[in-house]
Chains A and B, each alone.
Chain A
Amino acid sequence: MRLGVPARTTAIWLILILASFLTWWLGTNDSRDQLSDRVMIAAVIVIAFLKAYLVGMEFMEVRGAPTVLRALLTGWVGLFAVAVTTLYLA
């Protein structure tokens, strides 16, 4: 039986899995250099928010939702990505 899963959804699912491996590697990798460690952890935070954005857009189907909902998701992810990254680096 062919399940009606769009190729786009499958592609985003694969991107999310690859992003998970990348953040795991970035989060557990010790470069013995404090500055690059901080940059890598900041990247972990940014990638996590990008993943949340993709889940919201694709799997929670906000992509096809009214503009106000799309704006709310984009604004929420953007605001907290900037806030958490700034608080971490500060």
Chain B
Amino acid sequence: MSTGHTPTANVFFTMYYVLTGIHLLHVLIGAGLLAIWSISLKGRRSFTASQRLTEGIAVYWHMVDLLWLLIFPLVYLVCAA
């Protein structure tokens, strides 16, 4: 950023910061969900009771991964070429 790669520098960097920023938000949500899951494990509930939450969080994290698989090539490989 100190070399001028700021969100307002040009259209590429505006899109870059919006895309990666929204992705960071998703990562933070995922981390928060994992924290909730970790706390819920201390409740000594059976696995069956927390199975939906556990699997839901896992699927959410895979979605975040899926999005990064598309964002990374688009902003780091395609635009750089």
The residues of A with any CB-CB pair to B shorter than 8 Å are: 23-24, 26-28, 37, 40-41, 44-45, 47-49, 51-52, 55-56, 59-61, 84, 88
* Given A27-B80, A88-B78, CB of A48 within 8 Å of CB of B73: yes
Report yes or no: B65 in contact with A27, Cβ–Cβ below 8 A.
no
Complex contacts, A40 vs chain B, CB 8 Å: 81
- CB contacts (< 8 Å) of B72 on chain A: these are 48
A interface, over-half SS: helix
CB atoms of B59 and A60 under 8 A apart:
yes
Query: Which B-chain residue is minimally distant from A88 (CB atoms)?
Result: B78
A2: min CB distance to chain B, Å: 18
Alpha-carbon separation in the docked complex, A44 to B72 (Å): 11
Chain B nearest Cβ from A47, distance in angstroms:
8
Establish whether residues B73 and A45, one from each chain, have CB atoms under 8 Å apart when the complex forms: yes
A65 to chain B: closest CB distance in Å? 10
- Within the assembled complex, what's the spacing in Å between the Cα atoms of A48 and B73? 7
Contact A28 B66 (CB under 8 A): no
Residues of A within 8 A of B76 (CB): 27
A88 to B69, CA, bound (A): 18
The reply to whether A52 and B77 contact each other, CB–CB distance below 8 Å, is: no
- What distance in Å separates the Cβ of B38 from its nearest Cβ neighbour in chain A? 20
Rounded to whole angstroms, the CA-CA distance of A40 and B65 in the bound complex is 23
Q: Whole-angstrom distance between the alpha carbons of A45 and B80 in the complex?
A: 13
Nearest CB in chain B: distance from A79 CB, A: 13
Closest approach, in angstroms, between the C-beta of B45 and any C-beta of chain A? 21
Query: What is the CB-to-nearest-CB distance from A51 to chain B, in angstroms, rounded to a whole number?
Result: 5
